[in-house]
């Protein structure tokens, strides 16, 4: 009798483990990435002046970019790649402090975040990051550009800094590998094979 109860509980635990694992596999983008879309006519709140661009990326996607200005004409810039949640409107609160240090601040939203459109893939993130660097580089010399990444954005910032000249690289809350990061949150699953 006791063996039957134990065996039944083992089956229930394995069933729950399997169901959660399958759900994690199929819903991983929703688990790890939490974009917040906004309407096209939405105005972002900011303490400092900014300009907004919606740049066509290809026929199916556009990049939404905010450019925050300094009080005096800027001679240096920061490209800011944000984390995995919300949109650039939420991260805009960091722009005044960076602008006060004399940097013009450029922020981009990833596909599916804020007003940016397109399919969210790793390759597309790198392509958006490259376009952002080219845009800022067309206005500032490479030795006056700092590439800044927060959380998810640290991967993009490191990628850009490894491929292009820049004044510096700032990584806030970086991760070594996305698989290790996912393993931290779901240690009982073989996330290396699931992601």
Interval 107-139: pLDDT, tens: 999 999 999 998 888 899 999 999 999 999 999
Say whether both 190 and 156 belong to one domain: no
Domain count of the fold of the chain? 2
Dihedral sign, CA of 82, 90, 66, 119?
positive
For residue 7, give its domain range.
Answer: 2-32+181-194
- Give Cα 106 distance to the centre of its chain: 14
Among 51-55, 90-94, 187-191, which stretch is predicted with the lowest mean pLDDT? 187-191
pLDDT of residue 187: 81
Share of the chain above pLDDT 70, in %: 92
Q: Provide DSSP, 52-120.
A: EEEEEEETTEEEEEEEEPPSSPPSEEEEEE--SEE-HHHHGGGHHHHHHTTEEEEEEPPTTSBT--S--
Averaging pLDDT over each range in 16-25, 30-39, 158-167, which range is the top one? 158-167
pLDDT of residue 42: 92
The mean per-residue pLDDT over the stretch 5-14 comes to 85
Residues contacting 60, CB < 8 A, separation 6+: 117, 118, 119
The mean per-residue pLDDT over the stretch 40-47 comes to 91
Say whether both 120 and 99 belong to one domain: yes
pLDDT of residue 51: 97
Cα 186 from Cα 113, distance rounded (Å): 25
Say whether both 51 and 84 belong to one domain: yes
Paired tokens of 71:
């009080």
Say whether both 73 and 127 belong to one domain: yes
Paired tokens of 147:
């590439």
Residue 149 sits in a domain whose CATH number is 3.40.50.1820
Say whether both 114 and 165 belong to one domain: yes
> 58 forms bridges with which residues in the sheet?
61
pLDDT of residue 23: 75
Give the side-chain half-sphere CA count within 13 A for 147. 25
pLDDT of residue 181: 67
pLDDT of residue 14: 83
- Rounded to a whole number of angstroms, the CA Rg of the chain reads 21
pLDDT of residue 19: 81
Say whether both 97 and 163 belong to one domain: yes
């Amino acid at each position: 009798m006791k063996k039957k109860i134990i065996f039944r509980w083992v089956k229930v635990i394995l069933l729950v483990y399997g169901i959660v694992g399958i759900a994690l596999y199929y819903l991983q983008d929703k688990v790890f990435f939490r974009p917040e879309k906004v309407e096209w006519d939405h105005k972002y709140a900011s303490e400092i002046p900014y300009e907004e661009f919606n740049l066509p990326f290809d026929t199916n996607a556009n990049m939404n970019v905010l450019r925050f200005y300094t009080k005096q004409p800027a001679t240096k810039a920061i490209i800011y790649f944000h984390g995995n949640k919300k949109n650039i409107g939420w991260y805009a609160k960091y722009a005044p402090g960076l602008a006060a240090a004399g940097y013009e601040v450029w922020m981009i939203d990833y596909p599916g975040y804020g007003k940016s459109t397109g399919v969210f893939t790793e390759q597309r993130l790198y392509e958006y990051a490259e376009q952002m660097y080219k845009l800022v580089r067309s206005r500032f010399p490479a030795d006056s550009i700092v590439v800044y990444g927060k959380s998810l954005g640290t991967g993009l910032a490191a990628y850009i800094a490894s491929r292009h000249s820049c004044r510096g690289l700032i990584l806030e809350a970086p991760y070594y590998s996305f698989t290790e990061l996912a393993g931290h949150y779901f240690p009982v699953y073989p996330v290396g094979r699931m992601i």
